[in-house]
Structures are given as structure tokens and as C-alpha cells.
Amino acid sequence: MSEDRLKLEASWKSRLAGVFESAQMQELSDFLRAEKAAGKQIYPPGSQIFAALDTTPFDEVKVVILGQDPYHGPGQAHGLCFSVAPGVAVPPSLLNIFKEISRDLDLPRPTHGCLTFWARQGVLLLNNALTVEHGLAGSHKDKGWEILTDACIEALNRERENLVFLLWGSHAQAKGRLIDSKRHFVLKAPHPSPLSAHRGFLGCAHFSKSNRYLEEHGRSPVDWSLP
């Protein structure tokens, strides 16, 4: 995966150049090309694979939300974790996120599921794996994306201070090993999936807690509504 041909937001590209030149990323690139050549449908579209990094430059990150992998239905994934493209039905996990925001902050429930408004305020919506095969959740796990997304978290942990990390579910919490909780605010809860949200995600108040922390450290709070 040649770094010189990669179209990526400059602040991230400069920090990830070495990763893109690694053997693991070349193997990932070969894998993705082979899957497409075999006629498999891969989500999101190629131009949107790095949307989380392109929409939220490194120095603008305030909050990090970690997802597992993109949605695997037609037209859903567009490069931001938990988010769906405009006009697409809101998935169950995102509905539970909206429920908790509404409960926590007394905001009206959004009418759509596109989270670009959050990303442009400094909420990095990063999946652990950035691609997935149609209909097969987790199909691109352990294919090399984790090297890149680990590097993103390591760079934020090392170079930035007082960020908020929202780790929902075991996959996101596994990346907690890369975060210094003395430098950053780490909040953990079960995944917002209908299978686990009732075990502690609903009622976690992560959104008010995040904003309180940001304000205490001189940062503007996130507007968690969706116009």
C-alpha cells in the first residue's frame, strides 16, 4: 500500500507513512485487491475507507469512539463507525446510542444516522477494521487493519493530552492497552448492541461525562445533537 499514492488527510498521512510502507499493509492491500477481483462486494467504497481520518484531522480530535468494523449491508457504511449514509435506516446499535444521548442530555432523538456532524467537531469515529465483506461481519478482522488503527491510537495517546476515549464492548476495550489513563479520560461500557446495551450502556452517561471533562480542560463541549 504505497504511501506516496495514498490520498489521506495530511496530518494523519505524516504520522502513518511508515505503517503504510510495512509488509503487513502490503499484504492487506493484496488481500483487498484479490477479494475485489473475485467479485466480492467490499464496504465502504474505496473513496470512503479513510473517511474517519479525513473528516477529523489529528490536531482536532477531542473524543475517540472505537467501533469494530463497518456495517455490512448495502449502502450503510461510509467510513465512520456507527454511522450510516444519509437516507439509510438507523441500525439498532446507533438507535441505542441515540436513546442514551436523549436520556443523558435531554436532546431530541435524531431523525437520521449520519454522524458527520460529530466528526467535524473533533469526534474521531474509528473502526478497528476499516473494511468488511458484504453480509459477513468481522470478515476483515486480523487482515492487517489493526496495525494501522493501533498506530492511530498510539499517536493520539503519545502526542495529545486530555482526550476522551469511549470504549464500548470488548473489542474497543482491548485497545485500552494503548491508552495512558493518566493523560486521557477513558470511559468503558458494554457495546450498544441490543444484545448487550441493557447491561450498562444504557444509563452510562458517557456523553455528559465527556463534555464535562472537555470543559474542565478548556475545550469546547461536543454538540451531540444531529441537525
Q: What is the distance between the alpha carbons of residues 86 and 96, in angstroms, rounded to a whole number?
A: 18
Task: Judge whether 69 counts as a catalytic residue.
Answer: yes
The rounded average pLDDT for each run of 10 residues, N- to C-terminus, in the chain (227 residues) is 64 95 94 95 95 98 96 95 95 98 96 97 97 94 95 98 97 95 97 96 98 98 96
Pairing state between β 164-168 and 63-67: parallel
**For residue 175, what pLDDT is reported?**
94
All three cell numbers of 136: 459477513
66 neighbors 130 (Cβ within 8 angstroms): no
Contacts (Cβ under 8 Å, ≥6 apart) of 25: 1, 19, 144, 147, 148
Query: Which tens digits make up the pLDDT trace of 181-195?
Result: 999 999 999 999 999
Q: Which of 57, 75, 65 is nearest to 13 (CA)?
A: 57
Provide the pLDDT for residue 6.
Answer: 64
Q: Which residue is catalytic, options 30, 69, 106, 180? A: 69
Total Cβ atoms within 10 A of residue 75? 14
Cα separation of 168 and 131, whole Å? 19
Which grid coordinates are listed for 39?
Answer: 467479485
Segment 118-159, tens digit of pLDDT: 999 999 999 999 999 999 999 999 999 999 999 999 999 999
State the pLDDT at residue 7. 76
